[in-house]
């Protein structure tokens, strides 16, 4: 897969880029040419980045579209910056006599604003590219991937726990018998640790301190708990994508496919109700015409809390 970048060399008019620096540089041609070279290099790097991170057929199919979309936006901000730059003048170039200071300050202010907008977009190009590539997946596909990745993380921590315990056990045996058979099950790197470890403190007699085992074990327990939540969500997506509870003028929807807890009101909520929703993490979604937040136990707790408040008891809800 190769992204077509043939247009980037003509995206920016060379004469326009050079004219943009006539009022602020003794070498506007060099400044303009350098600006265009920087634009071309940035777009080439972006194309390579997208090619590298488009790892599946779905992403490869939209890679060119992602590049073209970001390139067009970057080009627009680049041209806006050049336009603002062309209105700037310097006393070093124009001379101090009859210098229009107020007009120059206004032009400089506009140029700084366009420059900040351009720089922010420039610095976030890779982030936008990744987001656009990820958007080809449905929410359910993203969650399935997240579940599988989390399972791998849990397995890795369990393996680490077993390895740390095995190393400590082997080290204890090694101190008594250098030919211990417990060394055979360890990797070469861990065998080297066992043979070379010298304790600095008496409460760390073996390569892995007790607190390391305790902390990792606590991490495993926490991750297993989170894994159980993810598995429930994933199963719910496959069986029942949505669960609705109907109340007085309000529907509470657990939208597992979108991973959102959604509140759908029959009528537009009052300003007081909207203030309560916002203060509890709910945001308006025009796409779903609902107030929503990520579907978590905290979201359910927040909903129960909100609907016990005086301003929202009218809905007579209990989630």
Q: Are residues 122 and 192 in the same domain?
A: no
Q: What is the pLDDT of residue 143?
A: 74
Q: For the residues 80-94, what does the mean pLDDT come to? A: 87
Q: What is the pLDDT of residue 91?
A: 81
Q: Is the pLDDT of residue 317 over 70?
A: no
Q: What is the pLDDT of residue 319?
A: 44
Q: Is the pLDDT of residue 68 over 50?
A: yes
Give the distance from CA 159 to its chain's centroid: 28
Q: Are residues 155 and 270 in the same domain?
A: no
* pLDDT tens per residue across span 166-221: 999 999 999 999 888 888 888 888 999 999 998 888 888 999 999 999 999 999 99
Domain annotation covers residue 163? yes
Final residue belonging to a domain, choices 210, 237, 264: 237
How many separate domains does the chain show? 3
Q: For the residues 51-70, what does the mean pLDDT come to? A: 90
Q: Which of 5-19, 216-230, 299-313 has the lowest mean pLDDT?
A: 299-313
* 3-state DSSP assignment of residue 319: coil
Final residue belonging to a domain, choices 237, 267, 290: 237
Domain annotation covers residue 278? yes
Q: Are residues 105 and 149 in the same domain?
A: no
| pTM of the shown model | 0.54
Domain annotation covers residue 1? no
Q: Is the pLDDT of residue 248 over 60?
A: yes
Final residue belonging to a domain, choices 134, 160, 188: 134
Find the domain containing 255 and state its range: 241-315
Average pLDDT across the chain, whole number: 88
Domain annotation covers residue 2? no
Q: Is the pLDDT of residue 1 over 70?
A: no
Rounded CA gap, 25 and 90, in Å?
Answer: 8
pLDDT band for 102, please (50, 70, 90 cuts): confident
Domain annotation covers residue 158? yes
pLDDT band for 103, please (50, 70, 90 cuts): confident
The count of other CB atoms within 10 Å of the CB of residue 16 is: 14
Rounded CA gap, 221 and 208, in Å?
Answer: 19
Q: For the residues 43-66, what does the mean pLDDT come to? A: 91
pLDDT band for 41, please (50, 70, 90 cuts): very high
Q: Is the pLDDT of residue 296 over 90?
A: no
Q: Are residues 177 and 284 in the same domain?
A: no
Q: Are residues 230 and 245 in the same domain?
A: no
Domain annotation covers residue 190? yes
Rounded CA gap, 120 and 97, in Å?
Answer: 37
Q: Is the pLDDT of residue 153 over 90?
A: yes
Q: For the residues 68-74, what does the mean pLDDT come to? A: 95
- Show the tokens assigned to 92: 């070093």
Q: Are residues 67 and 156 in the same domain?
A: no
pLDDT band for 100, please (50, 70, 90 cuts): confident
Q: Are residues 18 and 101 in the same domain?
A: yes
Q: What is the pLDDT of residue 238?
A: 65
Domain annotation covers residue 149? yes
Instruction: Identify whether the C-beta of residue 172 lies closer than 8 Å to the C-beta of residue 227.
Output: no
Say which residue the tokens 């199919």 belong to: 61
Percent of the chain with pLDDT over 90: 54
Percent of the chain with pLDDT over 70: 96
Q: Are residues 231 and 253 in the same domain?
A: no
Domain annotation covers residue 175? yes
Q: Are residues 196 and 145 in the same domain?
A: yes
Q: For the residues 227-241, what does the mean pLDDT come to? A: 77
Q: Is the pLDDT of residue 237 over 80?
A: no
Greater model confidence, 153 or 93:
153
pLDDT band for 58, please (50, 70, 90 cuts): confident
Q: What is the pLDDT of residue 290?
A: 94
Q: Please return the burial class of 4, using the count of CB atoms within 10 Å of its CB with bins 0-12, 13-18 and 19+.
A: exposed
Q: Are residues 104 and 24 in the same domain?
A: yes
Q: Is the pLDDT of residue 316 over 90?
A: no
Rounded CA gap, 260 and 236, in Å?
Answer: 13
Q: Are residues 233 and 263 in the same domain?
A: no
What size, in residues, is the chain? 319
Q: Are residues 16 and 106 in the same domain?
A: yes
């Amino acid at each position: 897969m190769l992204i077509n970048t043939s247009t980037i060399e003509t995206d920016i008019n060379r004469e326009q880029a050079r004219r943009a620096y006539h009022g602020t540089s003794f070498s506007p041609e060099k400044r303009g040419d350098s600006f265009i070279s920087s634009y071309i290099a940035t777009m080439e790097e972006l194309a390579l980045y997208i090619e590298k991170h488009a790892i599946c057929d779905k992403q490869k199919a939209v890679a060119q579209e992602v590049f073209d979309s970001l390139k067009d936006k970057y080009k627009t901000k680049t041209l806006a910056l050049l336009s603002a730059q062309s209105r700037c003048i310097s006393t070093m170039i124009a001379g101090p006599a009859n210098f229009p200071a107020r007009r120059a300050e206004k032009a400089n202010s506009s140029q700084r604003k366009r420059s900040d907008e351009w720089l922010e977009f420039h610095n976030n190009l890779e982030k936008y590219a990744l987001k656009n590539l990820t958007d080809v997946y449905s929410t359910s596909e993203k969650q399935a991937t997240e579940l599988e990745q989390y399972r791998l993380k849990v397995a890795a921590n369990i393996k680490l726990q077993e390895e740390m315990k095995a190393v400590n056990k082997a080290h204890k045996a090694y101190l008594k018998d250098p030919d211990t058979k417990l060394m055979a099950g360890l990797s070469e790197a861990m065998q080297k640790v066992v043979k070379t470890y010298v304790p600095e403190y008496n409460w760390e007699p073996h390569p892995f301190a007790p607190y390391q085992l305790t902390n990792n074990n606590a991490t495993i327990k926490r991750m297993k708990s989170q894994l159980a939540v993810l598995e429930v969500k994933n199963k719910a997506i496959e069986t029942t994508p949505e669960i609705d509870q109907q109340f007085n003028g309000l529907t509470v929807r657990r939208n597992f496919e979108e991973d959102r807890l959604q509140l759908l009101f029959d009528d537009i909520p009052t300003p007081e109700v909207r203030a309560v929703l916002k203060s509890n993490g709910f945001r308006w979604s025009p796409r779903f015409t609902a107030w929503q937040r990520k579907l978590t136990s905290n979201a359910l707790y927040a909903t129960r809390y909100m609907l016990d408040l005086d301003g929202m008891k009218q809905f007579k809800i209990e989630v």
